[in-house]
Structure 1
Amino acid sequence: MKIFSQCQFQPLPGSLLLLLLSGSLRVTAIPSTVNIEIPVPAKDALLRSLDRNLVSWSIQNRDLPMFTRSKLLENLFKALATNIGIGQSVRLGGGESDKTTYGSDITITADKYRSGYYGAQAQGNVTLGPNYFASFKEKYAPDTRYIWCLNLINTTNKFDAAISTAAGVLEYLGDELDLFEIGNEADFYGSKGFRDSEWDASMMLPEWNYIADEIQKNSPNKTVRFMAGGFANPAYIVTKDFDIPGIIAAGYQSSRIPWYSMHLYPQSGCSGAVTIAPLLEHNTLSDILSNYIPQVAAAESVGAQFAIGETNTVSCVGRPGISDTFAAALWLVDYVLFAATIGIRRVYFHATTTGSYSPVIPINYSLDSGNYSTGVLPLSYGAYFISEVLSFNDTLLIMQIEGGNDTDYSSYSVWDETNKLRKIVFINLQSHNSSTGGTNPATPDTEVYSSSGPRPSTRVTVATPWEPGQELSLIRLQAPGSNSKSQVNVSSFTFSEKDGSVTNNLVDTIITVKDNGNVEFDLLASEAVLVQHYSDVLSNKHPTKSGSKAADSTVNGVVMRTRGANMSISSVLVLDMKIMVSAILVSALLAFI
């Protein structure tokens, strides 16, 4: 049974198209040594704040119940929420949104929704009832919040499909609902025959406003807010006025629109050639995302925020050998951090129950005569690594490190509101392929290939404003190679392939700031590191294996500290106090003697 999803063709920027046509991965490589400096930013420097939901999720409305058939997504969400201190943001939307209607008298059971009742790709309308919400409510980490995308295509009975669905969503999700979207990828309606060929944002406005007004009238006890936009075409090939400056000019601006969004798939799996190469090209990524700077500016000009509302590596459910590889995890890290530096607040990664671009596969399934099992894909580890970047008790600000970005590598500095450097992220995007971890039982096998020669390593020296002798934690997002589909981890931290629970605790490598303020570390090709104050690690909650305990070890003279359930700043302070008291007693005794 073939699986299909949004089938869009998005022309690529010239630099990316040339890369694909050439078939060449790159002709440069990260040098064996990189020296960069991080000065304290000037007071007027443009640092962007990091949204705790920088990595967010987009899931087809019909698919979410099926994710409850295993604990994989629930436990992933719990791990991420533990680190960032708030629940996950989930957009329930996609191609099925414009096929969906709701009936309060629909008696389809919760179990039937979980069974995949609507199939891999619903044909015709998707009709939801009260048991749909019962099929997933309270199945995920605490405080999961939702965005619901409503049916704008169906105009029957004055848009009853959208308005009745909104009533059901508000009744059953209540305060768990953050926003509504009205219509999915409405810039395609004219070309697909859902509206007149002259269809533009001005023509859409009265329909959009009517639905929004009716929802608010039916919800007198709740201020209903919306995310406007949700257009398929990326910012570099906007059609008519279907982008954020265009719809704001057309009249889409009010206090009920705190968010705007557009979609982005850098490669199309619906048609044409796709390769792993663009995932490991920082310059290609930055070229694509820089097109969204005017979109961000437009949103901010009316006091709103901008998000990439649906995205992933390759459209049409991804592509095995690309979307399900470690390269996708590295790409996610570079993607969201660069996006944050230009003011994109959230990035919603699209997932389906069997798509190779999903973070987890929650069901056993068959595809093209092959049988596949549940499991965890590398994208989950990219998301987890970012949750470690975001873990902090107060506001964090981000900027690129000047001189620390090139084709094969990128770097970011993270600050607090007092202009103190808190974290450094360095990503080595140089390709290194390995036959180790080349398969994953959750996705189809693809060609396994290895790079010739030893895996390159780079010594990175960072001049920082940190005090000499300060103890730092270094953790790594790592795998055998960029093409690996398994054996991915974050400094030994892993998720269970069966249920997504923590199977191995994270191990911090302890390094210290040198006398001149420099921080030094080695970084393998296809690897990312996060360096931060070890005291910050202690002061934040982290997901750990049940019943685990913190432990120290020394490997080749390097101190390694395993995170454990009893690891907290309070216990460390108690320990320090005991040591201090003991020292005082010993000193007093010696003085007496």
Structure 2
Amino acid sequence: MTVYQPKNPQVIFGGSSSSEQPSGTVDAPAAATYTGAAAYNPTVLQPPPVPSNPTVPTQFPVQLWSGGMANLSMPLPGTFYGFSIEMSISNHVLGKNSTFISVPFLNLMANIQERVGGVHVRIGGNTQESAEFVESLPNNSIIAKDYAAVTGTTNTPPLQYTAELLYMMSNISSLANVHWYLGIPFFNTTPFDLSIMHEAQPILGDRLLGLQAGNEPDLYNAHGHRPEGYNQWNYFGEIGDLINQVGNDTEVTQRNNLFIVPSISLQWNPQDVWDTNIGQAYSADLFALSVEHYPTDNCAAQFNTGQPIRDPQATFPQFLDHTSALSNVGTFLSGTAYAQSVGKPFLMFETNTASCGGFAGISDSYGAALWALDWGLTMAASNFSGALLHVGGANAFYNPFTPPPTNQSTFRQWTVGPVYYSALVMAEILGPSNASQVVDLGMNSGNIYTPGYVVYENGNPTKVVLFNFVTDPSGNTDYTASISIGGGQTGQPNASPSSVKVKYLAADSVSAKYNFTWAGQVSLVSLMHYEHDN
């Protein structure tokens, strides 16, 4: 529930809105025999049973105070939730070139811009690590991939790109106020290839937020990109080498507050990295500290790693209560504290439901929308400064949005995924003030199925966010939360408003794949779900 109403709930570039959606019912044989791209997989799982031992309490108070509450987060930007787009698919998502930009992508960004003033988007990921700038490519392409030289668990191809990619990003910024993160290729460090700095700084200007220095360096050794024994101190030294090289490069126009480090994925203990004091040692050169995290993975099923394959139906309940968010954020609390001590933002630079593309029936369900919103609010309450939801292309289940296959783009349309709703709702929750502070209420005696949060702005509670993770067709698990500001035993005057505005992010079931509604709207933009022929 929120009590914030944007003045214009929807922005449309070059189209009209539509509320049509396909049915969310798919028979089991059709799902079992499906052989198409992951992004259009029709699998629908069964929601978990209604909790019965104990049952979920359905009547409880929520007490707020005027002037603030204990454990409020730091003030947070409205742009908290942004997107991470794999560099190799950026020409499918953003557009073909600087004069042919994807209108659906603009719509999606504009929806969030309208609520908070802008959007933060990263172009990078594994494919940035060996990306090479070239003056031109055949057929006026802006990106080329070498599939004969793939590396890593996810079969990452080396890339070549041209300046047209950056000009396209600049034009998108002028239309939807998108600010960008890019990355320095980090597989080769002798010397570093700084071409992306040379090209991006004059083209993007202040729309370039920062440059990632290494993507998951704690996996470099396992993937054959560093020798045995490579650790956080070796990485610390490489950052020093990078800074020294940049300092001697006359083509670099901006050197301060630029790099994002260490972007580890928990193969190294985060505290061991903070113990290098990397944030203090390189403070003048760093834009932010960062990590990357997925709560689980589906690599065995997606890439035949030989590890046990996780059953999506058995895994689904792990995403459907507050335990997931709390257990995942705990690892990073020392990091958010360290970032505050050195005066730097702390970013979740890449996240989603599960690495290696997510799970069919989980990552593309309403349950994923609830999970991502709860995860985002938990990070916000824990003093993260922002988080980026990853977009992985047609072979991923978890995409916030997916363009149609290139050879069908003239007659197929885009898919809007569940976690895009999470980002949109998060934008409304935090709003454009950049003064919102969040606290986890631990309400309903800490019941894991009914978490809740309150948002304060300038000492005043402005929004309350209430979750119900339970699918119960009987309605017996619907609950009533009685919210009060002051009054009672608080020692403060009663400041409860006489009425509030309520918005619901709703679906028929946590397993639903379509027909989500936000504030009664079925369609966010003039986009239709892409229906695959298989």
TM-score normalised by L of structure 2 = 0.76
Partners of 1:264 and 1:241 lie apart in 2 by 12
**Aligned residues of 1:328 and 1:379 also touching (Cα < 8 A):** yes
**Aligned residues of 2:290 and 2:348 also touching (Cα < 8 A):** yes
Asked which structure has the greater CA Rg, the reply is 1
- CA 1:348–1:129 in 2, change beyond 3 Å: closer, same or farther? same
Deviation at 1:290, TM superposition (A): 1.7
State which of 264, 269, 277 in structure 1 corresponds to 2:298: 269
Equivalent position SS for 2:226: coil
Matched, 1:425 2:454: no
- Name the residue aligned to 1:301: 341
Equivalent position SS for 1:288: helix
C-alpha deviations, 1:507-554, integer Å up to 9, x for none?
Answer: xxxxxxxxxxxxxxxxxxxxxxxxxxxxxxxxxxxxxxxxxxxxxxxx
State which of 50, 65, 79 in structure 1 corresponds to 2:91: 65
- CA 1:245–1:339 in 2, change beyond 3 Å: closer, same or farther? same
- CA 1:150–1:394 in 2, change beyond 3 Å: closer, same or farther? closer
Deviation at 1:246, TM superposition (A): 3.5
- Name the residue aligned to 1:523: none
- CA 1:40–1:496 in 2, change beyond 3 Å: closer, same or farther? closer
Partners of 1:132 and 1:52 lie apart in 2 by 27
- Name the residue aligned to 1:457: 478
Deviation at 1:28, TM superposition (A): 4.4
Matched, 1:412 2:453: yes
- CA 1:33–1:219 in 2, change beyond 3 Å: closer, same or farther? farther
Equivalent residue runs for 1:293-332 within 5 Å: 293-332=333-372
Equivalent position SS for 2:385: strand
**Aligned residues of 2:442 and 2:451 also touching (Cα < 8 A):** no
Partners of 1:426 and 1:172 lie apart in 2 by 43
- Name the residue aligned to 1:361: 402
C-alpha deviations, 1:338-370, integer Å up to 9, x for none?
Answer: 111111111111112322211111123799xxx
Deviation at 1:414, TM superposition (A): 1.1
- CA 1:148–1:457 in 2, change beyond 3 Å: closer, same or farther? same
- CA 1:134–1:75 in 2, change beyond 3 Å: closer, same or farther? same
Deviation at 1:467, TM superposition (A): 3.8
- Name the residue aligned to 2:4: none
Name the % identity.
18
Deviation at 1:326, TM superposition (A): 0.5
Equivalent position SS for 2:78: coil
- Name the residue aligned to 2:288: 259
- CA 1:489–1:109 in 2, change beyond 3 Å: closer, same or farther? farther
Partners of 1:473 and 1:46 lie apart in 2 by 23
Matched, 1:375 2:415: yes
- Name the residue aligned to 2:220: 189
Matched, 1:83 2:124: no
Partners of 1:57 and 1:25 lie apart in 2 by 33
- CA 1:387–1:223 in 2, change beyond 3 Å: closer, same or farther? same
- Name the residue aligned to 2:20: none
- CA 1:378–1:393 in 2, change beyond 3 Å: closer, same or farther? same
- Name the residue aligned to 2:246: 215
Deviation at 1:374, TM superposition (A): 2.6
Partners of 2:68 and 2:495 lie apart in 1 by 19
C-alpha deviations, 1:162-202, integer Å up to 9, x for none?
Answer: 31222122233222111011111111112222111111122
Matched, 1:481 2:509: yes
Deviation at 1:67, TM superposition (A): 1.0
C-alpha deviations, 1:14-44, integer Å up to 9, x for none?
Answer: xxxxxxxxx9886544322222211335687
State which of 132, 135, 139 in structure 1 corresponds to 2:165: 132
Matched, 1:346 2:386: yes
Report which stretch shifted further, 298-307 or 136-145.
136-145
- CA 1:125–1:41 in 2, change beyond 3 Å: closer, same or farther? same
RMSD between aligned residues: 3.2
**Aligned residues of 1:270 and 1:315 also touching (Cα < 8 A):** yes
**Aligned residues of 1:310 and 1:350 also touching (Cα < 8 A):** yes
- CA 1:24–1:491 in 2, change beyond 3 Å: closer, same or farther? closer
**Aligned residues of 1:187 and 1:242 also touching (Cα < 8 A):** no
Partners of 1:232 and 1:490 lie apart in 2 by 33
- Name the residue aligned to 1:143: 177
**Aligned residues of 2:346 and 2:385 also touching (Cα < 8 A):** yes
Deviation at 1:255, TM superposition (A): 1.8
Equivalent position SS for 1:158: coil
C-alpha deviations, 1:41-68, integer Å up to 9, x for none?
Answer: 5687544322222111111112222113
Deviation at 1:130, TM superposition (A): 1.7
**Aligned residues of 1:76 and 1:500 also touching (Cα < 8 A):** no
- CA 1:311–1:282 in 2, change beyond 3 Å: closer, same or farther? same
Which sections of structure 1, spanning at least 5 residues, go unmatched?
Answer: 6-22, 433-450, 502-593
Partners of 1:497 and 1:143 lie apart in 2 by 18
Partners of 2:78 and 2:272 lie apart in 1 by 25
**Aligned residues of 2:503 and 2:518 also touching (Cα < 8 A):** yes
Partners of 2:37 and 2:196 lie apart in 1 by 26
- CA 1:473–1:175 in 2, change beyond 3 Å: closer, same or farther? same
Deviation at 1:283, TM superposition (A): 2.0
C-alpha deviations, 1:131-156, integer Å up to 9, x for none?
Answer: 2324444236532111112211124x
Partners of 2:285 and 2:272 lie apart in 1 by 18
Partners of 1:481 and 1:183 lie apart in 2 by 40
**Aligned residues of 2:73 and 2:383 also touching (Cα < 8 A):** no
- CA 1:351–1:252 in 2, change beyond 3 Å: closer, same or farther? farther
Higher strand share: 1
- CA 1:91–1:346 in 2, change beyond 3 Å: closer, same or farther? same
Deviation at 1:118, TM superposition (A): 6.6
Partners of 2:77 and 2:380 lie apart in 1 by 8
**Aligned residues of 1:71 and 1:500 also touching (Cα < 8 A):** no
State which of 373, 380, 392 in structure 2 corresponds to 1:333: 373
Deviation at 1:83, TM superposition (A): 0.5
Higher relative contact order (CA 8 A, sep 6+): 2
Partners of 1:454 and 1:4 lie apart in 2 by 33
Deviation at 1:334, TM superposition (A): 0.9
Equivalent position SS for 1:64: helix
Give 2:201's aligned amino acid. Answer: L
Deviation at 1:464, TM superposition (A): 2.0
- CA 1:253–1:134 in 2, change beyond 3 Å: closer, same or farther? closer
**Aligned residues of 2:413 and 2:528 also touching (Cα < 8 A):** no
Report which stretch shifted further, 389-398 or 328-337.
389-398
Partners of 1:2 and 1:211 lie apart in 2 by 43
